[in-house]
Amino acid sequence: MKNKKIFMGNYYICKIFAMILIVLIVFTGCGQNRIMEKEEKKETVESEMNEEVKKTAQTFRSVYMKEKSELNTLKVKRKIINCLEEKGYAAVDCDNQIDMVNREKV
């Protein structure tokens, strides 16, 4: 009789331990999938942003290549902003010396 009580006590302990182990495995697996999905989504968004930046940079590349030595002048900044305006982008210089173009889009 005493052996049966010991066996039943160990049985319940093993059963509880197995349940805890199963719960941990399930939640750990689900958490990893979520992390991977977030990372993949972040990479996709960054890739799309990089493509948009490259596309935008192509609009004023000719001005950049011609005026490479004088990029920080107001004249070159105006040319670049005008190129962006022609392609429909909203643009303004960092020093706020040139009025924003296509501001209605912002």
Q: How far is CA 51 from CA 48, 59, 77, 83, in A?
A: 5, 13, 23, 18
Burial class (CB in 10 A: 0-12, 13-18, 19+), 91: buried
Radius of gyration of the chain (CA): 31
User: In the chain, where are the structural domains located?
Assistant: 1-55, 60-106
CA gap 58, 49 in Å, rounded = 14
CA distance 35 to 42: 11
Q: Does this model's pTM top 0.75?
A: no
When mean pLDDT is compared across 23-27, 54-58, 96-100, the lowest value belongs to 23-27
Q: Grade residue 30 by pLDDT with cuts at 50, 70 and 90.
A: low
What is the DSSP track for 16-55? Answer: HHHHHHHHHHHHHHHHHHHHHHHHHHHHHHHHHHHHHHHH
pLDDT at 6: 52
Residue 50: predicted pLDDT: 87
Question: Which has more pLDDT, 50 or 7?
Answer: 50
Q: What is the pLDDT of residues 33-92, one digit of tens each?
A: 666 777 778 888 888 888 888 888 888 888 888 887 887 888 888 888 888 888 888 888
